[in-house]
Amino acid sequence: MRRRPAAHRAERRRLARRLKRSRAVELNPLDAVDLAHLNRVSAMRELASSLAHELNQPLAAILSNAQAALRLLAHIPPDIAEARAALEDIVADDRRAGKVIQRLRAALPRVAVSMAAQDVNELAREVVRLASGAALHAGATVRAELAPGLPRVRGDGLRLRQAILHLLLNALDAVSRCPPDDRLVVVRTRAADRGRVELCVADSGEGVPPEDLERIFEPFFTTKTRGLGVGLSISRSIVEAHGGWLWAECSPGEGATLRCALPVWDEGARRAG
Q: Cα(182)–Cα(133) distance, rounded to whole angstroms?
A: 18
- 232 near ligand ATP (CB under 6 A): yes
Which member of 59, 104, 184, 228 binds ligand ATP (CB under 6 A)?
228
* Contact assessment for residue 168 and residue 136, using Cβ atoms and an 8 Å cutoff: no
User: Which of 124, 271, 265, 121 lies closest to 196, judged by CA?
Assistant: 265
Q: Could you say which of Mg ion, ligand ATP, none residue 224 binds, taking C-beta under 5 to 8 angstroms by partner kind?
A: ligand ATP
Biggest CA–CA distance in the chain, Å, is: 104
Q: How far is the CB of 248 from ligand ATP (least distance, A)?
A: 7
Residues 124-143 that bind ligand ATP (CB under 6 A): none
228 CB contacts (<8 Å, ≥6 apart)?
Answer: 40, 41, 44, 220, 222
User: Which of 185, 205, 199, 206 lies closest to 239, judged by CA?
Assistant: 199
Q: How far is the CB of 81 from Mg ion (least distance, A)?
A: 54
- 221 near ligand ATP (CB under 6 A): yes
Q: Could you say which of Mg ion, ligand ATP, none residue 58 binds, taking C-beta under 5 to 8 angstroms by partner kind?
A: none
- How far, rounded to the nearest angstrom, does the alpha carbon of residue 43 sit from its chain's CA centroid? 14
- 231 near ligand ATP (CB under 6 A): yes
Task: Calculate the dihedral angle through the C-alpha atoms of 82, 87, 88, 89, rounding to the nearest 10 degrees.
Answer: 90
Residues 228-257 that bind Mg ion (CB under 5 A): 231
Task: Please count the other Cβ atoms lying within 10 Å of the Cβ belonging to residue 14.
Answer: 10
- 207 near Mg ion (CB under 5 A): no
Which member of 154, 159, 161, 166 binds ligand ATP (CB under 6 A)?
166
* Contact assessment for residue 166 and residue 234, using Cβ atoms and an 8 Å cutoff: yes
- 205 near Mg ion (CB under 5 A): no
Q: Could you say which of Mg ion, ligand ATP, none residue 135 binds, taking C-beta under 5 to 8 angstroms by partner kind?
A: none
166, HSE (Cβ side, Cα atoms, 13 Å): 24
Q: Could you say which of ligand ATP, Mg ion, none residue 223 binds, taking C-beta under 5 to 8 angstroms by partner kind?
A: ligand ATP
Strand ranges for 102-244 from DSSP E: 116-118, 141-146, 153-155, 184-192, 196-203
Which range touches Mg ion (CB under 5 A), out of 98-106, 132-140, 162-170, 212-220? 162-170
Q: Could you say which of Mg ion, ligand ATP, none residue 139 binds, taking C-beta under 5 to 8 angstroms by partner kind?
A: none
Residues 169-208 that bind ligand ATP (CB under 6 A): 170-171, 174, 203, 205, 207-208
What does the binding site for ligand ATP look like in residue numbers (CB under 6 A)? Answer: 166, 170-171, 174, 203, 205, 207-208, 216, 221-224, 227-233, 256
What does the binding site for Mg ion look like in residue numbers (CB under 5 A)? Answer: 170, 231
